[in-house]
Amino acid sequence: MYTAVVECLRSIVNPGIDENTQDEWSWDAQTKITAQGLLATMMSYHFLVTFICVRAVLQTVKPLASKLQKHDLDVYDTRTLITDRVERVKEMREGVDAEFETWYEDCKRIANELQIEEKVPRTCGRQTQRTNIGSSTPQQYYKCTVAVPFLDHLSTELNDRFNKDDSVAYAFGCLVPKQMVTLSDSEIQKLSSEFFFWESDLQSSSSQDLLGHLLEWKRACGKLGEKGITAANLLDTYRIADGDIFPDIKTLLHIGCTLPVTSCEAERSFSGLRRIKGYMRNTMNEDRLSSLALMHLHHARTINASEICQN
Give per-residue pLDDT as tens, 71-121: 767 777 777 888 888 889 999 999 998 999 999 999 989 888 888 888 877
Cα–Cα dist 210/196, whole Å: 8
Of 206, 182, 183, nearest to 193 by C-alpha is 206
Could you give the percent of the chain with pLDDT greater than 90? Answer: 8
Those residues whose C-beta lies under 8 Å from the C-beta of residue 78, and which sit 6 or more positions away, are 67, 68, 261
Which band of pLDDT confidence, cut at 50, 70 and 90, is reported for residue 150? very high
Q: Is the model more confident about 113 or about 205?
A: 113
Average pLDDT of the residues of the chain: 82
Which band of pLDDT confidence, cut at 50, 70 and 90, is reported for residue 229? confident
Q: Full-prediction pTM beyond 0.75? A: no
- Residue 151's pLDDT is 92
Least confident stretch, 73-77, 165-169, 247-251, 260-264? 165-169
Least confident stretch, 4-8, 129-133, 180-184, 282-286? 129-133
The ranges assigned to domains in the chain are: 1-16+27-43, 86-122+132-162, 166-258
Straight-line distance from the first to the last Cα atom of the chain, in angstroms, rounded to the nearest whole number: 55
Q: Is the dihedral of CA 207, 210, 216, 222 positive or negative?
A: negative
| Phi, psi dihedral angles at 22 (to 5 degrees) | 60, 25
Could you give the percent of the chain with pLDDT greater than 70? Answer: 89
